[in-house]
Amino acid sequence: MQVLPGGDTRWQLYRLLSDPTRLKLLALAAEEELSVGELAELLDESQPNVSRHAAPLRQAGLLADRRQGTRTLVHLAEGARADAVVADALDAGRKLCTADGSLPRVAEVVLRRDAKTREFFARPPDAEVGLSPEIPSYLYALAMLLEHRELALDVGTGDGALLDLLAPIFRRVVAVDRSEAQLGRARQRVRAHGYENVELVEDQIGGSRVLAAVGAGADLVVASRVLHHAPRPRAAMTELVSLARPQGRVLVIDYARHEDEQFQDAQADVWLGFSPDELADFAESAGLVDVRVVPVPGRFVRTGPDAHLPWLSLLGTRPLGNGA
């Protein structure tokens, strides 16, 4: 029953939007893509009731959803706002959600998505630091192939594994993580290998300490396996782009879409990877140009608990005049 375009079923749209719960559901889904469980919490309803209310809205073309493992994520359908009746319903729904306090709580619900992530990365270090002794020398020699290598930014550095690649190439490296426990592991690596050009910063992606350290922007911003921990990956991509200088590069390495839900508990993952189109859309929406997304060959990921997962690599350029 698609009622948006008009026709004999158009009158059913008014009946569909006469229910206050559906109005609030519509407004919340327009505010943020939310799981059925999150919507149930915000609406103080059971998940079956939320699904029951969402079904006719989806059938009418007002809501769309996508699967993330066993979760169903719901958002306002593309183009729905253009309908005057729907726009009026969204306004009424926002007023209802503001009155009952559910709209202000959306940000709180989204923030809790990465509570397990924070707890996971706050665990004390338990792994030894290791590095093939020839790699830094080879990378230092290869650095002459790069024209711009003044500053690299390693976002979500974790134990600092990428520093073994970046420190020999760039004159200066800023490594950022919001977990002191993770930075402790990176600090061990920095000391063990004598990386005098590395600065460790405890902060969020776009925090004041990061901005001060980066200044006018980095030649290269790298985020390895960061986006799948981000409550809002699209917003996180925008923040990454904002940290690159004009004509600087942004490199994102993350999991391709997968169905291994154990990572939501074992590794505190918020998202079960992304499709190439999703990553490209995040990057282009953030203002990157010349965006390329390629799969990482499985033979290069040989060890670790995620060695069986597919990986993707995205590279893009921040153009001159980009205000991301």
String of b and e for 254-268 (b: at least 16 CB within 10 Å)?
bbbbbebeebbeebb
The partner residues of 289 in beta bridges, in order of sequence, read 317
Q: What is the pTM of this model?
A: 0.80
Residue 132 has pLDDT above 70, yes or no: no
What is the rounded CA–CA span in Å between residue 121 and residue 163? 18
* The pLDDT of residue 324: 47
What's at 256, amino acid-wise?
A
Cβ count within 10 A of residue 221: 27
Tell me which residue of 207, 202, 204 sits closest to 186, measured CA to CA.
202
Residue 53 has pLDDT above 60, yes or no: yes
Return the DSSP state at 178. Answer: S
Going along the chain from its start, the domains and CATH numbers come out as 11-112 (1.10.10.10), 120-317 (3.40.50.150)
Number of Cα atoms under 13 Å in the Cβ half of residue 242? 14
Confidence of residue 127 (pLDDT cuts 50, 70, 90): low
Instruction: List phi, psi (to 5°) of 304.
Output: 95, 165
* The pLDDT of residue 1: 46
Q: What is the pLDDT of residues 230-274, one digit of tens each?
A: 999 999 999 999 999 999 999 999 999 999 888 888 888 899 999
* The pLDDT of residue 251: 97
What is the rounded average pLDDT of the residues 86-93? Answer: 95
String of b and e for 127-159 (b: at least 16 CB within 10 Å)?
eebeeeeeebeebeeeeeeeeebebbbbbbbbb
Residue 6 has pLDDT above 70, yes or no: no
What is the rounded average pLDDT of the residues 294-298? Answer: 91
Tell me which residue of 298, 309, 237 sits closest to 272, measured CA to CA.
309
Residues in the chain: 324
Q: What is the pLDDT of residues 157-169, one digit of tens each?
A: 999 999 999 999 9
Tell me which residue of 255, 295, 269 sits closest to 114, measured CA to CA.
269
The partner residues of 8 in beta bridges, in order of sequence, read none
Confidence of residue 130 (pLDDT cuts 50, 70, 90): low
Confidence of residue 144 (pLDDT cuts 50, 70, 90): confident
What's at 28, amino acid-wise?
L
What is the rounded average pLDDT of the residues 106-119? Answer: 87
Cα separation of the two ends of the chain:
40
* The pLDDT of residue 103: 95
Residue 308 has pLDDT above 50, yes or no: yes
Instruction: List phi, psi (to 5°) of 45.
Output: -125, 165
